[in-house]
Amino acid sequence: MINHLRGILIEKNPMNAVLETSGIGFDLKIPISSFEVLPAIGENCFIYTLLYTTQDESRLYGFCTKPERELFLLLISVAGIGPKIALSVLSTLTIESFVRAVIRAEEAIISRVPGLGKKTAQRLIMELKDKVSSLSEHTTYQATTTGDQRLAEVETALLSLGFNQKDIRHQLAALPEDITSQSTEQIIKDTIRRIYQKRA
């Protein structure tokens, strides 16, 4: 197995990257989460890889972090989930959001992923609930304090309402430190107001 590649980034788009190393150009399928942190074209690049082989073809997949690759492997281990859907999950939800949704059995969040329906989301939750713990150490998800739980609930609620995750997290990061004194409903309302104010 090709564990990783180091070389010059030749091309990139939200679905593919071409990395040249030792005069060979490797075409990699990547999730949007990796695309967003790739260096500029022409710069040095390090990327974790996974060679996925079927009877019809062999395809090299690339990930900017080990947790992304680990989640990809967990996803394709589930019956009926192939690389295309696994990349869709990584491109739609952060690892933190996916782990939280699986642990809390929030099928509505998982079924937002293009290509996933309610039944498939339920199967993912059932089969991965005891396996995603290995990813928890790589995430910022913690369910240990009231503030953490409340912010996690707010993010989940706003995602279910269709708000952009980056907008949500930007506004949650700007909340005052005395967040525990506010109700979850009030935090949701204030966050929505801040998001709309930013758009105005």
Instruction: pLDDT tens for the chain, 200 residues: list them.
Output: 789 999 999 999 999 999 999 999 999 999 998 999 999 999 999 999 999 998 888 999 999 999 999 999 999 999 889 999 999 999 988 888 888 888 888 888 898 898 888 899 999 999 998 888 777 555 544 443 445 567 778 888 888 888 887 778 777 766 665 665 778 888 888 888 888 887 76
Domain of 180 in residue numbering reads as 146-199
Would residue 92 count as lying in a domain? yes
Which of 117, 136, 155 terminates a domain? The answer is: 136
The counts of H helices and E strands in the chain are 10, 5
84 and 58, same structural domain?
Answer: no
Which of 104, 136, 168 terminates a domain? The answer is: 136
pLDDT at 141: 43
Would residue 120 count as lying in a domain? yes
Would residue 141 count as lying in a domain? no
Cβ proximity of 101 and 113 under 8 Å: no
95 and 46, same structural domain?
Answer: no
pLDDT at 138: 55
Would residue 91 count as lying in a domain? yes
Query: In CATH, what number is assigned to the domain containing residue 42?
Result: 2.40.50.140
Would residue 187 count as lying in a domain? yes
pLDDT at 60: 96
Would residue 21 count as lying in a domain? yes
132 and 98, same structural domain?
Answer: yes
Would residue 156 count as lying in a domain? yes
Cβ proximity of 8 and 19 under 8 Å: yes
**3-state SS track over 6-55:** EEEEEEECCCEEEEEECCEEEEEECCHHHHCCCCCCCCEEEEEEEEEECC
> What distance in Å separates the CA atoms of residue 186 and residue 18, rounded to the nearest whole number?
46
> What distance in Å separates the CA atoms of residue 13 and residue 121, rounded to the nearest whole number?
28
Phi, then psi, of 8 in degrees rounded to 5: -100, 130
130 and 71, same structural domain?
Answer: yes
- pTM (two decimals): 0.69
77 and 37, same structural domain?
Answer: no
Query: In CATH, what number is assigned to the domain containing residue 126?
Result: 1.10.150.20
46 and 70, same structural domain?
Answer: no
pLDDT at 146: 45
77 and 131, same structural domain?
Answer: yes
129 and 71, same structural domain?
Answer: yes
117 and 174, same structural domain?
Answer: no
Would residue 27 count as lying in a domain? yes
What's the structural domain count of the chain? 3
Q: Which two tokens stand for residue 123?
A: 């199967």
132 and 70, same structural domain?
Answer: yes
